[in-house]
Amino acid sequence: MDSIQVFDNRFALAAQGAGPLLRLCTGALWSEGPIWIQESAQLLWSDIPNNRMLSWHAERGMEIWRDQVNFTNGHARERDGSLLHCSHGQRAIVRTQLDSQGRAVSDSIVVDHYQGRRLNSPNDVVVKSDGSIWFTDPPYGIVSDREGFRAKSELGKNYLFRFCPNSCTLRIVSDLLEEPNGLAFSPDEKILYVSDTSAALKQDGGGHHHIVAFNVVEGQDLANPRVFAIVTPGLSDGFKVDTAGFLYTSSEDSVQVYHPDGTRMARIPVPEKVGNLCFGGTENNQLFICASTSIYRLSLHARGATA
DSSP notation for 74-110: EEEE-TTSPEEEEETTTTEEEEEEE-TTS-EEEEEEE
On whether the CB atoms of residues 251 and 236 are closer than 8 A, the answer is: yes
Q: Per residue of the chain (307 residues), what is the pLDDT tens digit?
A: 468 999 999 999 999 989 799 999 999 999 999 999 999 999 999 999 999 999 999 999 999 999 999 999 999 999 999 999 999 999 999 999 999 888 899 999 999 999 999 999 999 999 999 999 999 999 999 999 999 999 999 999 999 999 999 999 999 999 999 999 999 999 999 999 999 999 999 877 789 999 999 999 999 999 999 999 999 999 999 999 999 999 999 999 999 999 999 999 999 999 999 999 999 999 999 999 999 999 999 999 999 998 7
Q: In this structure, is residue 158 part of a structural domain?
A: yes
The enclosing domain of 171 has a CATH number of 2.120.10.30
Number of domains in the chain: 1
Q: In this structure, is residue 90 part of a structural domain?
A: yes
Q: In this structure, is residue 93 part of a structural domain?
A: yes
Q: How far apart are CA 77 and CA 147, in angstroms?
A: 23
Q: In this predicted structure, what is the pLDDT of residue 204?
A: 76
Q: In this structure, is residue 164 part of a structural domain?
A: yes
Specify the pTM: 0.97
Q: How far apart are CA 171 and CA 204, in angstroms?
A: 33
The number of beta carbons lying within 10 Å of the beta carbon of residue 13 is 12
Q: How far apart are CA 122 and CA 70, in angstroms?
A: 12
On whether the CB atoms of residues 189 and 219 are closer than 8 A, the answer is: yes
Q: How far apart are CA 288 and CA 229, in angstroms?
A: 22
Q: In this predicted structure, what is the pLDDT of residue 41?
A: 96
Q: In this predicted structure, what is the pLDDT of residue 102?
A: 86
Q: In this structure, is residue 119 part of a structural domain?
A: yes
Q: Is 288 exposed, middle or buried (0-12, 13-18, 19+ CB in 10 A)?
A: buried
Q: In this structure, is residue 267 part of a structural domain?
A: no
Q: In this structure, is residue 1 part of a structural domain?
A: no
Q: In this predicted structure, what is the pLDDT of residue 48?
A: 98
Q: In this structure, is residue 278 part of a structural domain?
A: no
Range of the domain at 187: 29-240
